Amino acid sequence: MWTVIKIDKKKLYGFREDLKTKFGNNFQIYYPKLTIQNYQKNKLKEKSVNLLGDYLFCFHVKFSDSSNINQMKFFRGVKTLLNGFKESQNEINNFIRNLKSLENKNGYITQSIYQTEVNKIYKFTSGPFTQKIFKIISLNKDKIDVLIGNIKTRISRKKFLFKPV
């Protein structure tokens, strides 16, 4: 059964160790990640960002028992256990399945998580145009025509990451 947990990212290792101690190695932890690139001192730095912030999904068969869930409240790094996860198992499974289908070979969520629309404003999160705002002029299968300031150019959909502003 999947549960949703708000956790202190710095104590994730301790949380895993507490899970191993209490439940063995039969658990799964899933937290979807994006890679974002930023310029720092004229160098392009890559950073991994958790898509859900401090939240993660954890699966174990024994989570159906409420006494096990109550014990997890005292594990290292746990801030909050969200209620209502028992009734929402189908939605959680569908959400995780959809996110896993959007992952690349390295396990990071790809650009296809965002829907792109013509005449909408976006911001680059990777590549040489990082942090630049642009407007989509037209969409093709693999290419996008964009307007960055007064400059019109064509970019590859798969090479650059961008998000709506």
pLDDT digits (tens, 9 = 90+) for 68-79: 888 899 999 999
Pick the CATH number of 114-164 from 3.40.50, 2.40.160, 1.20.1250, 2.30.30: 2.30.30
Give the architecture (CATH level 2) of 2-101: 2-Layer Sandwich (3.30)
Q: Look at residue 67 and tell me whether its pLDDT is greater than 90.
A: no
pTM score of the predicted model: 0.71
- Name the E strands within 12-150: 28-30, 33-40, 43-50, 55-59, 78-81, 121-124, 133-139, 143-148
Q: Look at residue 102 and tell me whether its pLDDT is greater than 80.
A: yes
What are the domain boundaries of the chain? 2-101, 114-164
> Residues 25, 118: contact at Cβ < 8 Å?
no
pLDDT digits (tens, 9 = 90+) for 133-162: 999 999 888 888 999 988 999 988 777 778
Q: Position 145: which residue type?
A: D
